[in-house]
Structure 1
Amino acid sequence: MNRTNSDLDTCAYYGLEPGETCFTHRSCYDCLNVPVAADPQGCVLSQFGYCMSMVFYDYKLDYRTTSGPNADSGSPHNFTGGLYHQYPAVSTTYCEATDPACLECNAIALNYARQDNFLARSTKFCLGQSGCVCVLSCEPTVWRLRTVSLCDDSDPSTIADSNSDSSTSWTAYTTSPSIIVNRTSNNLSNLYWVLAVPVFIVLLVGCALCL
């Protein structure tokens, strides 16, 4: 990415280029391979493809030291093995797009939509021959579904100050696309009950008065 305003980058977002009003999430590749002036200690990449400051790093979650399977059940709360994985830039590099590890992970990620595809739901990352990593959530199609830009028409300097986990101006998806679809279906079901129950009560009271 050819950029002119990298001095305003953070681990989470790229700095705004002239004319831009939307902050874009830092890519997985840049998270681990490109230094950030504002975060000299480096960044850490989550298994969901979200780049964060090293202040959020937990050595117990380092992908090289965690015990248990390299698996994700697909649930936002229940992970096989109870483990999250983190990839610190200080000791990890992200594979090139042509690396066999990335080609394998991308092929697996594209099968997320298949309900019976265990491999797509049980793999967090692939390890390249040089020791580099390729994270399943960073496959372009999946990554775009899990992350959104932070946009605001107000003073860009005020947006930059809000680039923290406490900001409520944006949402980062942390589940597979199929889970997002299922959540939408569940929300529609909940809306049905919210509307149906009051109507039923009104009809019931009306019938009682008629008697």
Structure 2
Amino acid sequence: MSNTSASSETNMDVGSNKSMSSNSSSSADDDISIEIPATSPMAKTSNDEDSCTWYSGAICSRPRSCFDCLNVVIPGQDCAVSPRGECINFYMASSTGGYPMANFMYCSADDTICSACRTKWTNDYMADIHVSSTAKCVGQSGCICLASCELPNHIATVVDMWCKPVLDASLFQVVTGLIIGTIALFVVATILTNRHFARRLEQDVELREAQSVARAALRETRRPSALAHLPRLSLSGWAGMREKLVSSEQNRLESGGESTQPALARSSTVPFNTDVDHGDGYRQMSPSENSTRREN
């Protein structure tokens, strides 16, 4: 079949097995019969450790082909081909769109229609002509083939979509440097802040201690001398004399004395002589002279 017919098949809408019926033919009695295309049963994968996207032990290096994705069953998994040519789980395809293996089969390499489409897509790709990643063809038996699965960069595209880091090496280094710088700046700021608060706290403690000492000194200066920490005077002699006088007075009162006033007793009626300074020497002064001098 020519490229013109392949191109016309590319624009066909394929939705389900109901759209993959052959042209009807009418019989003499006008009965209509639909011929179901003959398809080979799906094969089972030889390695149960395969996933929908990757072959066993080949993650990020060898993605599963679109043919195996739709035609080879992995026990416990229901796969689908996305419009970008990656084999994914059916639940992912249900939100992004795609071709589930329950409704579609992928054309084999010897399908003439798919081979013609593959040749055209490859030639356009090599000639730098844009090829839509969603372009598809319907093969002879109703199978499908996708441009995104047949282009030479299919494997690299899937690996890049799934495994290429978001940042390249240079940009990653820049971002890493910014993160490290931010962390270092935060650490330095935290240390300086803690030191500042520690210094302020130490100054506050010293200030409070100085104020406490000043208040204590002020209270000490204002405290009465009776309350100050001074040694008390010993009044034992005065207390003894007082007790003696009280006792003597009580004894005299008890003995019936007439006078309550204390009197001084003289040991002699003879007046005593007193030496008076007179000129270059001393002389005795009579009692009358002594009395006159006292009155003056």
**TM-score, normalized by length of structure 2?**
0.36
Higher relative contact order by CA 8 Å / sep ≥ 6: 1 or 2? 1
Computing the radius of gyration from Cα coordinates, the structure with the larger value is 2
